[in-house]
């Protein structure tokens, strides 16, 4: 799956064991245009993590590296956006759920 973030096409991949290897539920590598999400996450946690990594990517693309590395701020913005869009029905949850047979 790819997500266009400020015009840049980021590949989004499910990764088995990411939380164990990186001690993170997701990672964003702007140089490689790659977002990885731990494969074992339940749908709601998965979606929150996708939003979190999108905010990282957006801030990197805006060349605001200091903000992009501020985990608390990134998490707060991601959570506020995710919950607002989800709760008002403006979010297509299916589009955030990557292909994963365990969720079918
Ligand atoms: Zn983060």
Which residues touch 94 (CB under 8 Å, ≥6 apart)? none
* pLDDT reported for residue 103: 42
CA of 16 to the centre of ligand 1 (A): 18
Span 29-82, pLDDT tens digits: 999 999 999 999 988 899 899 999 999 999 999 999 999 999 999 999 999 999
CA of 45 to the centre of ligand 1 (A): 13
- How far apart CA 62 and CA 56 sit, in angstroms, is 10
Which residues touch 67 (CB under 8 Å, ≥6 apart)? 59, 73, 74
Q: How many CB atoms lie within 10 A of CB 71?
A: 11
| Containing structural domain, residue 80 | 2-103
Higher-pLDDT residue of 1, 29: 29
In this structure, the chain runs to a length of: 104
79, exposed or middle or buried, with CB in 10 Å at 0-12, 13-18, 19+? middle
CA of 55 to the centre of ligand 1 (A): 9
CA of 59 to the centre of ligand 1 (A): 11
Who surrounds ion ligand 1 at CB < 5 A? 71
CA of 100 to the centre of ligand 1 (A): 22
Mapping DSSP to helix (H, G, I), strand (E, B) and coil, where does residue 30 land?
Answer: coil
Total domains present in the chain: 1
């Amino acid at each position: 799956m790819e997500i266009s973030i400020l015009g840049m096409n980021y590949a989004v991949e499910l990764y088995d064991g990411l939380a164990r290897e990186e001690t993170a539920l997701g990672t964003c590598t702007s140089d490689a245009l790659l977002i990885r999400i731990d494969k074992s996450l339940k749908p709601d946690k998965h979606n929150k993590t996708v939003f979190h990594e999108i905010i990282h990517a957006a801030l990197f693309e805006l060349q605001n590296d200091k903000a992009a590395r501020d985990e608390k701020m990134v998490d707060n913005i991601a959570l506020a956006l995710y919950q607002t869009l989800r709760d008002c029905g403006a979010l297509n949850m299916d589009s955030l759920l990557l292909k994963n047979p365990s969720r079918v």
